Amino acid sequence: MAKDATGKPVKPPKTGSQAAVDLGVAGTFVILSKSGITDVYKSAITGNIGTSPITGAAIVVACDEVVGSIFSVDAAGPACILTNPSMLSTAVLNMETAYTDAAGRSNPDFINLGAGTIGGLTLTPGLYKWTTDVVIPTNITIKGGANDVFIFQVAGTLTMSSNVKVILSGGVQAKNIFWQVAGDVTFGTTSHFEGNVLGKTGINLQTGASINGRLLAQTAVTLQMNTVTKPK
């Protein structure tokens, strides 16, 4: 067992083994929303985006901002839009199922870590549960191996301050990180986030914020000159 500077044993952090959340068809999207995607030009989006059941007119994103396809239930919206209502319906159902799965995981390894303020922490693999809002005021590190899974259950809102980063260490992959958030999600200006966001309500990226992950919202996604990249 490891020891501290005084020679006393240090109890290792508790970790657990979690299966990844199955995103289904929703996993083919980098942004998926039920009620719209709006943008302050120009963002850089790598991956498919789409909305359902709302009309494509609620996709206020220019074609040249997306390296991928823009899907809608109808022909309204950007000129490059592709209509595929049945696929989108399946994707949204899969998104909702994934949210329920993540929210329903039991026996958390960590409960209300940092009383909801997690700036400066290093997070190891496992299941995390907060019954409060979660605030990230300073950089955090998510540390583990390439196959480790992290699931974060947030009963309130998730807010990351401006210029703050989520840093991956040890080979952790963003595709294996799942943030299930019941309240609004807000990423501050020029912040950087990692992982899949399963939002019950809105997901809001302020000016210059970036994410390596997915924005899967059961209401709207708002962008302001952001970089959004689907994880590999």
Q: Which of 155, 53, 141 is nearest to 102 (CA)?
A: 155
Can you list the residues of the chain whose pLDDT is less than 70? 1-16
Q: How far apart are CA 28 and CA 12, in angstroms?
A: 37
Residue 150 φ/ψ, nearest 5 degrees: -125, 130
Q: Which of 28, 24, 21, 22 is nearest to 49 (CA)?
A: 28
List, for residues 100-129, the tens digit of each pLDDT value.
999 999 999 999 999 999 999 999 999 999
39 in Cβ contact with 223 (< 8 Å): yes
Q: How far apart are CA 130 and CA 145, in angstroms?
A: 24
pLDDT computed for residue 29 by the predictor: 98
Pairing state between β 227-229 and 29-33: unpaired
What's the whole-model pTM score? 0.92
- The b/e string for 111-121 (b: 16+ C-beta within 10 A; e otherwise) is eebeebebeeb
pLDDT computed for residue 16 by the predictor: 55
Q: How far apart are CA 168 and CA 175, in angstroms?
A: 12
pLDDT computed for residue 6 by the predictor: 52
Q: How far apart are CA 93 and CA 99, in angstroms?
A: 10
pLDDT computed for residue 83 by the predictor: 98
List, for residues 159-192, the tens digit of each pLDDT value.
999 999 999 999 999 999 999 999 999 999 999 9
- What is the secondary structure of the chain as a DSSP string? --B-TTS-B-PPPP----PPP--GGGGGEEEEESS-EEEES--EEESEEEE-SS-GGGEE--GGGEES-EEESSS-SSTT-EE-HHHHHHHHHHHHHHHHHHHH--S-SEESGGGGB-TT-EE-SEEEEESS-EEE-S-EEEE--TT--EEEEESS-EEE-TT-BEEEETT--GGGEEEEESS-EEE-TT-EEEEEEEESS-EEE-TT-EEEEEEEESS-EEEES-EEE---
